[in-house]
Chains A and B, each alone.
Chain A
Amino acid sequence: MKRRLLPAILAALAILLVSVAQRGTAQAQSTAIPRNGVVCSTSTNGDPTMFDLTATIGYVTMSDGNAIHMWGYANGDWTADAATAAEHYQYPGPILCVNQGDTLTIRLHNMLPEDTSLIFPGQDNVQAGGFPSQPVFISGAMTSLAPVASAASGSGGNVTAGGTMEYSFLASEPGTYIYESGTNAGVQVQMGMFGTIIVRPSNAGFGYTYDIGSGDETQVAYAYNRADSAYNPAHENVEILSEIDPFMHQAYEADFINWMSTGEHNPQAFDMQGYVARYFLINGRSFPDTLADNLVPWLPNQPYSALVHIHAKSASDPYPALVRYVGAGTQDYPFHPHGNDSLVIGRDGRALVNASGADLSTYKFSIPVGPGQTWDITFDWQDDNNYSASNPIPVTVPQTANLTVGPYWSGSPYLGSSGALPPGGEGYSQCGEYYHIAHNHALQQMTSWGGITLSGQATYTRIDPPTPNSCPQQ
């Protein structure tokens, strides 16, 4: 039942699943794409601070194999053809990175059956269509939180592009922000219409100068215009937390098919009183897809890895990783990375300081990322006890036959070492690296629809030995 409509809509749109290589060309990445960590989208129009985003449908795959009809954004202007737009759909929306002081401009093109718009919580003086962005009223009733790109039209199985709206604002403060739909938002945001904006600091000494090709792990970047917000730009991550009710998406899928042929669209195709989230996602993926690399070909519309890959802290790896958590769902997600506390250094695009600017950063083991919030944390790990074969752990380890051994266990307690594994084990460890899980501690949200456990909001932190090491290069 839940998958029955997919073949029909795929045929109707003549969607071809394009390879990553093709998409990569389309996105014209100017630098190598890291296997893990943040991937800033590249503008398709040549202006690095102006983005064309097409509001479109698309499909994502859950780790149980279910395919979900989504709304959201494709990077670029794909209004010429609905199938091409859907090919370029991505969930969550493109990560847009600018420097403090830049004016970020987004041209929103609409291929959806209803009006849509963008709002930018945390930004001041947003312009829309050349005027201050304000709520839209028609006959005294508010119809949108911001001026809209008007709806596309469906007829005879074809989609004709709707309107375009241009939004812009001065990125005045560094930090992590959300952009999301401001129209029929209870439906549109939930259908996937959100994304992340990263504003990097630009005060003297804090500007972003990361040489991705150098392999130098001592490079430093800053989350804010503060020395205590230093991090290693080779280990910067965005973890966007969201959720899906498959029945809601199924209702809008049926509506979309009907609209393509008849032009009739029901903006309340699903009764939100009956909303129950069944999938819980990080970067649009459910576990274990969260561990897969950026841009893996089997997840063509879910490009972002959620694996945090670091080196143990050392003189050659002095700076922590930065993780930008984004709450794009309907509730607090109490996120719990194992291994070490996270140092909370910022919230909602501001450094965590008191009224006089003194640091109030705090270590936490549970990060309650609420709807619409962003949390900036730094994370590092080191063995406080310097355990090694010559400084062994103070307990006797039973033989592996008397233990249940996990697939990511190296066989050794010690970082950079490996030991005996039972025959037939997966032995995913490559170089004696450590893995720690990171997951939502509202543990029902670590599961997904139908009772499949450990398939929701969970990922790993991979900890390699300090550089230089024998691990495969990232």
Chain B
Amino acid sequence: MSKRLSRRGFLKLGLGAAAGAAGAQLFLSSRAGHLSPVAQAATTITPKYYLAGTDGWASFPGTGNTHFYPDPWAPTGKTSYMFGFANVSAYKTADPPVSADVLGFKQKAQSCAPMMYFDENESAVVRLTNLGLAVRPDLVDSHTVHWHGFQNVIPMFDGEPSTSIAVPIGRVFDYSYKPYEPGTYMYHCHFEDTEHVHMGMVGPVVVRPAQNGTAHTHGGKTFTKFAYNDGDGSTGYNREYVIFLSEVWNESHWDDAHIQLPDWTDYKADFYLINGRVYPDTLLPNGAAVGAPTNGVPGDLRDQPYSAVVHCKEGERVLLRLINLGFTKASMTLAGIRMRVVGLDATQLRGKTDADGSYETSTAQVGPGESVDAIFEAPAHSGGAGYDTYLLYNRNIQGISNNGGAGLGGQMTEVRVYSASSNAIPAVQVGPNDLSSLA
């Protein structure tokens, strides 16, 4: 094998499935050294999050009407082959890091990837290991974590494999972050990133501002949680929800399971996801095990843990952290409630001299790789028990169909507004997206 990559070899480097396999094998056989001893990350470091790159399966309910969907190889209750990150943070002190427990997460990729929250100026480590692909043992792809939008990052912690390093199967790498800029971000694997991103190695990451915990009054209400270090409470909120958008093109997912390669320039999404699920599964609570059926078989949601329902009480301010790691621009409409866009791409909308650039809208466009911070005030409750429902959905209409079928699906969820006196939801949100683990 030539020591220098040919032009074509370079093109294939870090890239698509079969092409990528050649590139990755080139790396591994000539450079990484299968037989080298495994160097562990220092066990004195306890990461904040521990992610394991692997494959898995997800349920996207719809009418099975194509060769590619549902995948006939999918386990019962699942429809689509995925790559993703499994959350093995419970084993972040394991020594060695790739313990038997961690290895048990092979073929248990989570859709979407684990939500990660950091505090401004926190010194934090994210550990990554690579468990390989159970369905594709012929693929020896490495994985990385690319924190998309992290300012002034050094290449070592950027995760783009051609300018940096990536993590081969069975190995471990610790990414160190000291986030200086609060806001809404996203992360994904950057190895062969067209494929790995689309296959599902995508998730949200949020940096909470140092201003949190101090009281600021805005519009007659006092807040202690903020989107940004606004100094005046204008980005204060009571509850916060990540609305994480991604897409599934059936053909490419089928191809990856069945040892085929798509022409990515044929791309056309079939499913549009919020927080790793499609409507109506988006309405099910966090951790729901059973989702909507496909061809009469109930969906298995155990690897799609995140609800997309927004709960709030009348008069409360709610922060929506809209993130898109699909390949298509989304137009997220909140019908019946005005949102104020206060930040884009983890930047408060203020000029260098503090001129206010925030604006009100009912439809926030979120392009691929963009984030939008939008705050709305929940309107008065209509009375009686129960909640008022407002729809939050992608006005790009093909984004609210499942597999092009009849009826509603895809990127749609509900904002549920309760009365101020309701006990149906906690008085104080237990954590972002109602997840106490993120508090």
Tell me whether B39 and A398 are in contact (CB under 8 A). Answer: yes
A426 at the interface (CB under 8 A from B): yes
Contact with A along B9-42 (1 / 0, CB 8 A): 0111111100110001001101111001111111
Tell me whether A450 and B263 are in contact (CB under 8 A). Answer: yes
For B36, give its contact among A338, A381, A401, A444 (CB under 8 Å).
A401
Q: What is the CA–CA distance of A332 and B165 in the complex, to the nearest angstrom?
A: 30
| Identity of the chain A residue whose Cβ is nearest the Cβ of B126 in the assembled complex | A395
Contact with A along B330-350 (1 / 0, CB 8 A): 000000000000001111010
Contact with B along A384-406 (1 / 0, CB 8 A): 11010000011111111111111
B187 at the interface (CB under 8 A from A): no
| Identity of the chain A residue whose Cβ is nearest the Cβ of B142 in the assembled complex | A404
Q: What is the CA–CA distance of A443 and B199 in the complex, to the nearest angstrom?
A: 12
Tell me whether A436 and B160 are in contact (CB under 8 A). Answer: yes
Tell me whether A409 and B155 are in contact (CB under 8 A). Answer: yes
Some 6 contacts from A to B, beta carbons below 8 A apart, are A338-B153, A397-B156, A398-B171, A406-B161, A443-B193, A452-B19
| Identity of the chain A residue whose Cβ is nearest the Cβ of B44 in the assembled complex | A396
Given the interface pairs A228-B352, A385-B178, A448-B265, the reply to whether A396 lies near B344 with Cβ below 8 Å is: no
| Identity of the chain A residue whose Cβ is nearest the Cβ of B3 in the assembled complex | A424
A18 at the interface (CB under 8 A from B): no
Tell me whether A341 and B149 are in contact (CB under 8 A). Answer: yes
Contact with B along A325-360 (1 / 0, CB 8 A): 000000010101011110000000000111000111
Given the interface pairs A451-B19, A453-B192, the reply to whether A436 lies near B198 with Cβ below 8 Å is: no
Chain B residues within an 8 Å CB radius of A383: 152, 154
Given the interface pairs A403-B166, A442-B368, A454-B15, the reply to whether A364 lies near B345 with Cβ below 8 Å is: yes
Tell me whether B32 and A402 are in contact (CB under 8 A). Answer: yes
Tell me whether A435 and B155 are in contact (CB under 8 A). Answer: yes
Given the interface pairs A340-B152, A399-B39, the reply to whether A366 lies near B32 with Cβ below 8 Å is: no
Q: How far is the CB of A67 from chain B (nearest CB, A)?
A: 15
Report, as a range, how many residues of chain B touch the other chain.
35 or more
Given the interface pairs A396-B41, A441-B368, the reply to whether A365 lies near B148 with Cβ below 8 Å is: yes
B158 at the interface (CB under 8 A from A): yes
Q: What is the CA–CA distance of A340 and B261 in the complex, to the nearest angstrom?
A: 33
Contact with A along B133-167 (1 / 0, CB 8 A): 00000000010001011011111111011111111
B174 at the interface (CB under 8 A from A): yes
| Identity of the chain A residue whose Cβ is nearest the Cβ of B193 in the assembled complex | A443
Tell me whether B5 and A334 are in contact (CB under 8 A). Answer: no
Q: What is the CA–CA distance of A338 and B194 in the complex, to the nearest angstrom?
A: 16
Q: What is the CA–CA distance of A460 and B160 in the complex, to the nearest angstrom?
A: 11
A296 at the interface (CB under 8 A from B): no
* Interface of chain A: mostly helix, strand, loop or mixed: loop
Q: What is the CA–CA distance of A421 and B281 in the complex, to the nearest angstrom?
A: 48
Chain B residues within an 8 Å CB radius of A443: 193-194, 197-198, 264, 327, 368
Given the interface pairs A338-B158, A341-B347, A364-B347, the reply to whether A404 lies near B27 with Cβ below 8 Å is: yes
B93 at the interface (CB under 8 A from A): no
Chain B residues within an 8 Å CB radius of A382: 152
Extra contacts, 18 of them, besides A334-B368, A406-B163 (Cβ < 8 A), are: A288-B11, A359-B353, A360-B355, A364-B370, A368-B370, A382-B152, A383-B152, A403-B173, A404-B28, A404-B166, A406-B166, A409-B163, A422-B33, A436-B163, A443-B194, A445-B265, A453-B192, A454-B11
Chain B residues within an 8 Å CB radius of A359: 351-353, 355
A257 at the interface (CB under 8 A from B): no
Tell me whether A460 and B369 are in contact (CB under 8 A). Answer: no
Q: Which of B30, B155, B173, B193 has the most CB of A within 10 A?
A: B155
For A393, give its contact among B3, B4, B15, B176 (CB under 8 Å).
B176
Given the interface pairs A358-B351, A396-B41, A407-B13, the reply to whether A453 lies near B20 with Cβ below 8 Å is: yes
Tell me whether B155 and A436 are in contact (CB under 8 A). Answer: yes
Q: What is the CA–CA distance of A449 and B13 in the complex, to the nearest angstrom?
A: 17
Chain A residues within an 8 Å CB radius of B27: 404-405
B59 at the interface (CB under 8 A from A): no
Name B's A-contacting residues (CB within 8 A).
Answer: 3-5, 7, 10-16, 19-20, 24, 27-28, 30-33, 36-42, 45, 123, 125, 142, 146, 148-149, 151-158, 160-168, 171-176, 178, 180, 191-195, 197-198, 261-267, 327-329, 344-347, 349, 351-353, 355, 357, 367-370
Tell me whether A368 and B367 are in contact (CB under 8 A). Answer: yes
Q: Which of B123, B180, B328 has the most CB of A within 10 A?
A: B328
Q: How far is the CB of B394 from chain A (nearest CB, A)?
A: 16
Tell me whether A437 and B163 are in contact (CB under 8 A). Answer: yes
* Interface of chain B: mostly helix, strand, loop or mixed: loop
Tell me whether A366 and B367 are in contact (CB under 8 A). Answer: yes
Tell me whether B142 and A384 are in contact (CB under 8 A). Answer: no
Tell me whether B180 and A384 are in contact (CB under 8 A). Answer: yes
Q: Number of A residues whose C-beta is below 8 Å from B?
A: 78
* Top 5 A-B residue pairs of the complex, sorted by shortest distance between their CB atoms: A441-B369, A453-B15, A401-B36, A453-B16, A358-B355
Chain B residues within an 8 Å CB radius of A396: 41-42, 45, 174
Chain B residues within an 8 Å CB radius of A24: none
Given the interface pairs A359-B351, A362-B349, A409-B164, the reply to whether A449 lies near B265 with Cβ below 8 Å is: yes
Q: What is the CA–CA distance of A428 and B92 in the complex, to the nearest angstrom?
A: 35
Tell me whether B194 and A403 are in contact (CB under 8 A). Answer: no
Tell me whether A451 and B263 are in contact (CB under 8 A). Answer: yes
Q: Which of A334, A409, A426, A453 has the most CB of B within 10 A?
A: A453
A29 at the interface (CB under 8 A from B): no
Tell me whether B163 and A444 are in contact (CB under 8 A). Answer: no
Tell me whether A395 and B19 are in contact (CB under 8 A). Answer: no
Q: How far is the CB of A243 from chain B (nearest CB, A)?
A: 10
| Identity of the chain A residue whose Cβ is nearest the Cβ of B160 in the assembled complex | A437
Tell me whether B151 and A384 are in contact (CB under 8 A). Answer: yes
Chain A residues within an 8 Å CB radius of B180: 384
List which A80-108 residues lie within 8 A (CB) of chain B: none
| Identity of the chain A residue whose Cβ is nearest the Cβ of B347 in the assembled complex | A363
A20 at the interface (CB under 8 A from B): no
Chain A residues within an 8 Å CB radius of B7: 63
Q: What is the CA–CA distance of A453 and B4 in the complex, to the nearest angstrom?
A: 20
Q: How far is the CB of B71 from chain A (nearest CB, A)?
A: 20
For A360, give its contact among B30, B161, B357 (CB under 8 Å).
B357
Q: What is the CA–CA distance of A228 and B351 in the complex, to the nearest angstrom?
A: 11
Q: How far is the CB of A7 from chain B (nearest CB, A)?
A: 22
Q: What is the CA–CA distance of A442 and B247 in the complex, to the nearest angstrom?
A: 11
For B353, give its contact among A334, A358, A406 (CB under 8 Å).
A358
A176 at the interface (CB under 8 A from B): no
Tell me whether A402 and B16 are in contact (CB under 8 A). Answer: no
Tell me whether B347 and A395 are in contact (CB under 8 A). Answer: no
A23 at the interface (CB under 8 A from B): no
Q: What is the CA–CA distance of A409 and B344 in the complex, to the nearest angstrom?
A: 31
Given the interface pairs A276-B265, A395-B45, A449-B263, the reply to whether A407 lies near B162 with Cβ below 8 Å is: yes
Q: Which of A364, A404, A460 has the most CB of B within 10 A?
A: A404
Chain B residues within an 8 Å CB radius of A395: 41-42, 45, 125, 174-176
| Identity of the chain B residue whose Cβ is nearest the Cβ of A336 in the assembled complex | B369
Q: What is the CA–CA distance of A437 and B41 in the complex, to the nearest angstrom?
A: 26
Q: What is the CA–CA distance of A435 and B158 in the complex, to the nearest angstrom?
A: 10
Chain A residues within an 8 Å CB radius of B146: 338
Q: How far is the CB of B282 from chain A (nearest CB, A)?
A: 23
Tell me whether A365 and B149 are in contact (CB under 8 A). Answer: yes
Chain A residues within an 8 Å CB radius of B31: 400-401, 404-405, 422-425
Chain B residues within an 8 Å CB radius of A437: 160, 162-163
Q: What is the CA–CA distance of A424 and B12 in the complex, to the nearest angstrom?
A: 17
| Identity of the chain B residue whose Cβ is nearest the Cβ of A394 in the assembled complex | B176
Given the interface pairs A334-B369, A340-B151, the reply to whether A403 lies near B11 with Cβ below 8 Å is: no
A446 at the interface (CB under 8 A from B): yes
Q: How far is the CB of A138 from chain B (nearest CB, A)?
A: 38
For B327, give its contact among A393, A405, A444, A453 (CB under 8 Å).
A444
For B195, give its contact among A354, A363, A423, A453 (CB under 8 Å).
A453
Q: Which of A361, A400, A452, A454 has the most CB of B within 10 A?
A: A454
Q: What is the CA–CA distance of A408 and B162 in the complex, to the nearest angstrom?
A: 6
Tell me whether B39 and A402 are in contact (CB under 8 A). Answer: yes
Q: What is the CA–CA distance of A332 and B328 in the complex, to the nearest angstrom?
A: 9
Given the interface pairs A444-B194, A453-B20, the reply to whether A424 lies near B30 with Cβ below 8 Å is: yes
